[in-house]
Amino acid sequence: MTLKAKLLIQMLLIIVFVSCKTNTRNDSNKDNKNSADLQISKAQIDHLGITDINHLSTASKRALKWPADLGNDWYIEFGGLQPLKGDLAYEEGVVRRDPSAMIKENGKYYVWYSRSTGKCDGFGGDVENDKVFPWDRCDIWYATSKDGWTWKEEGIAVARGPKGSYDDRSVFTVEIMKHEDKYYLSYQTVKSPYTVRVKNQVGLAWADSPNGPWTKLDKPILSPADNGVWKGKKQNRFMVEKKGDFDSHKVHDPCIIPYKGKFYLYYKGEQMGEKITFGGRQIRHGVAIADKPLGPYVKSSYNPISNSGHEICVWPYKGGIASLITTDGPEKNTIQWSPDGVNFEIKSVLKGVDAHAIGLNRTVDNDKDPTEILRWGLSHVYNSWDYQSIMRFSSERKTEHRAPGE
């Protein structure tokens, strides 16, 4: 090798070395700059146990961006479910599930729920005549109670529609809204046959009394987005050419809240070709807004409004809307709050939610405490895959952790 070649190689090595040192120094400066941009206070350092602000992990940087007023006002723990008495006690051969919120009229609590009978056959047989899910072939029933423990089943509130109608197969997963002395039930509907790719809708009925009679609207108030494309003809809900919107397959769990002079219909969306992600099932929530209780309801252009969730559980609080997010997605088991009913932020992360398809107690003062409405209410429980019953849940605020005898 010539002297000229050796000198050239040495120069290249020096350039590479200097470049690496510069990049390292730049990264270090960048890290210090990011630390400075966080504007770390002594109180934050002490609270989080950080000892060296010049060497912050990604986790520490996230923690330093938490709200300054981070507290435990929204943190609760659920207790075990307790059985109900009377007609809502578990009954072999009967499905009672998806309780609505409770309201109190005439000195009694009222609740509505999905009710069916008989075991489930799944999708392997005759889907035209079989019962494929526990919530298949349901009608909406209601019950009353003086104390929230012992219930009397009053009968059918809303039945399935005649053959050929959009709700002829099942009406289920109901929610109640009272507004200006009128009562409104929103619920899911399915038209027969109940196939894997069936697209359910949301119906609405109204009455002048919680005891009915209920008048059903002739058409649904909400339908899945019509912009996904199935692949092939086989009944496989995971095979798609185009997934479409977050609610291109199903709209579930409707709940209408009177809010800021309008009516906000919150719902769960399921997407065609739904995936399992790092948070589980790819389930999100949306909202549709109307000027009148009977609609028309227009989906928000900001949908989806959550990254996670399953059953809808929402309530007004301090001029905004709170939401308990459970079961599915990376933000499951959180309570979130929105100042405008659309843009939600996490307020607490719970260690678990031992309640499902929650029926809130809407008789409480929502603004007393952010989680007051969750102190007790109704839930369903799977006694088996075929049969479910309604039980009572409870929760309490947790402000400290102590060892026994401390």
pLDDT for 51 beyond 90: no
Quick one: pLDDT at residue 25? 41
Query: Global pTM?
Result: 0.89
Q: Which domains does the chain have, with CATH numbers?
A: 3-64 (no CATH), 76-397 (2.115.10.20)
Quick one: pLDDT at residue 9? 46
- Looking at residues 248-266, what average pLDDT do you find? 98
Give the model confidence (pLDDT) of 119-175 as tens digits.
999 998 888 999 999 999 999 999 999 999 999 999 999 999 999 999 999 999 999
**Greater confidence, 33 or 39?**
39
Quick one: pLDDT at residue 16? 40
pLDDT for 4 beyond 60: no
Return the sign of the alpha-carbon dihedral for residues 370, 356, 377, 189.
Answer: positive
pLDDT for 5 beyond 70: no
Q: Return mean pLDDT, the chain.
A: 91
Tell me the CA distances in angstroms from 331 to 9, 72, 148, 280, 323, one per residue in order. 54, 18, 31, 10, 12
Q: Please, what's the b/e burial string for 266-292 (b: 16 or more CB within 10 A of its CB; e: otherwise)?
A: bbbbbbbbbeeeeeebbbbbbbbbbee
Whether the CB-CB separation of 377 and 392 falls below 8 Å is answered with: yes
**CA atoms lying within 13 Å on the CB side of residue 344:** 32
Quick one: pLDDT at residue 26? 43
Quick one: pLDDT at residue 37? 62
Give the model confidence (pLDDT) of 96-110 as tens digits.
999 999 999 999 999
